[in-house]
Chain A
Amino acid sequence: MKKIYLSGPDRLKRNGRELYAEKKELCERYGFEVLEYPDEIYKEKDSFENNYEIAKKRLELIKECDIFIGDTNDFRAFVEPFGETALETGMAYGLEKKVYCYMKDARTCQERYSGEKKYDDSIKKWTDENGIGFEPGPLNLMLEYGGKIVEGGLEDALKQIVKDLGEEERCL
């Protein structure tokens, strides 16, 4: 059974444990095993030392997984995902895992940007209100090309994974 590591900000929700359990069950329905976060991750307050120990355990889980799935919906920022998920996506890519990211709106950053934007004729590009240009795709190009982006939710990502694995097997 292929092992999945789930990354995303859900753990920070009040019902984080329940959301995680639901996602775990969904992955299992598709025939995957989910590597579970250390339970201490749900503590609201913690020391830096404990925090570091939890992070080390999580890195080991990423090393152990076959497939990494990140929730890259916007988080506390315009067109930017949860920072921890971006960091973990880079880890999974570096460890040569199969990397998938899902987001409910996968239009380009420029199309999705809800702040003020303007067209800068000198550089022939759309920019934000500070004159900063947008990445061409739905996410920063490191995430866009470091894995496969699926528009939709976790279930859409799982369907894509099942399809990709099936094609891989047929090629063997």
Chain B
Amino acid sequence: MFIDKDGKLRKPVVYLADFEMFLPTCPETVAYWKKTCEKYGLIGLFPGDGSPVKEGPNFWQRIFEHDVNYMKESDMCIAQLDDWRGHEADSGTAFELGYFIAKGMPAYGFYTGKKPLIARNIKRSDEDPAYDENGYLIEDKEFAFENMFSLVYIGDSFEDACKRARADFDRQLIEAGYAPFEITETL
């Protein structure tokens, strides 16, 4: 439960920003995410939910619009920020996370790799190991990502991000005189 912008008490819809659709393990992972959302009183919305976008002219443009519409229908976002083809988060996922931050909506991430950023296995410059092989500084700022990602809480796991969201929503519920959400083991 959370209090939406109209003051109504309901379960928030979580946009699942991720790169799972590219992976063969997608169905199992998304099923686990949705179950975990349920446990914490959230409703997981996966971009691949619902009727698939029909093939035809402007197919990719229409997929983009479909995903943006799902973001607009959601109340918050949890983003999968694990490394994607290198040492960066998937750019599409990062874009979606940025959208929620800019809209002032609750946004969370999770990252299962090494923290902070300087602990990652990024290939270093031989001359100065503070920099990578292409001469870009590997920031030493007590954080797993570059500067702008510090605007969101980034947990160690999907469940960790759900827990944090639940705690934030519960704080608002208590302040407004409601009981916090009761977490039940459904997994």
Q: Which of A's residues lie within 8 Å of B, judged by CB?
A: 9, 12-14, 16, 41, 44-48, 50-52, 54-56, 58-59, 62-63, 72, 75-84, 86-95, 115, 128, 131-133, 135-137, 139-146
Q: Are A51 and B91 in contact (CB under 8 A)?
A: no
CA distance A62 to B86 in the complex (A): 27
Chain A: CB-nearest residue to B140: A45
Q: Which residues of B contact A62 (CB under 8 A)?
A: 102
CA distance A41 to B151 in the complex (A): 15
Q: How far is the CB of A27 from chain B (nearest CB, A)?
A: 21
CA distance A56 to B101 in the complex (A): 11
Interface residues of B in 37-86 (CB under 8 A from A): 60-61, 63-65, 67, 83-86
Chain B: CB-nearest residue to A62: B102
Q: Are B60 and A137 in contact (CB under 8 A)?
A: yes
> With A139-B91, A141-B92 given, is the CB distance from A56 to B151 under 8 Å?
yes
CA distance A28 to B23 in the complex (A): 45
Chain A: CB-nearest residue to B122: A76
Q: Are B101 and A47 in contact (CB under 8 A)?
A: no
Q: Which residues of A contact B150 (CB under 8 A)?
A: 48, 51-52, 55
Q: Are B22 and A132 in contact (CB under 8 A)?
A: yes
- Chain B, residues 159-177, CB within 8 Å of chain A (1/0): the string is 0000000000000000000
Q: Which 7 A-B pairs have the closest CB atoms?
A: A77-B86, A90-B98, A140-B92, A90-B95, A94-B102, A86-B91, A86-B94
Known contacts A83-B94, A92-B102, A128-B85; 5 additional CB pairs below 8 A are A41-B147, A87-B148, A94-B101, A115-B85, A142-B91
- Chain B, residues 100-127, CB within 8 Å of chain A (1/0): the string is 1111000000000000000000100000
Chain A: CB-nearest residue to B67: A142
CA distance A52 to B130 in the complex (A): 21
Q: How far is the CB of A45 from chain B (nearest CB, A)?
A: 5
CA distance A95 to B101 in the complex (A): 10
Chain B: CB-nearest residue to A76: B87
Q: Are B88 and A83 in contact (CB under 8 A)?
A: yes
Q: Are A86 and B60 in contact (CB under 8 A)?
A: no
Most buried by B among A12, A13, A82, A95: A12
Would you mind naming 30 contact pairs between A and B with Cβ atoms under 8 Å apart?
Answer: A44-B137, A44-B140, A46-B142, A54-B147, A59-B101, A59-B102, A75-B88, A76-B88, A77-B87, A80-B85, A81-B91, A83-B145, A83-B146, A84-B145, A86-B88, A86-B89, A87-B148, A88-B148, A90-B97, A90-B99, A90-B101, A92-B102, A93-B102, A94-B99, A131-B24, A132-B22, A140-B90, A142-B91, A142-B92, A142-B95
Q: Are A132 and B23 in contact (CB under 8 A)?
A: yes
Partner of A141 from the list B60, B83, B88 (CB cut-off 8 Å) is: B60
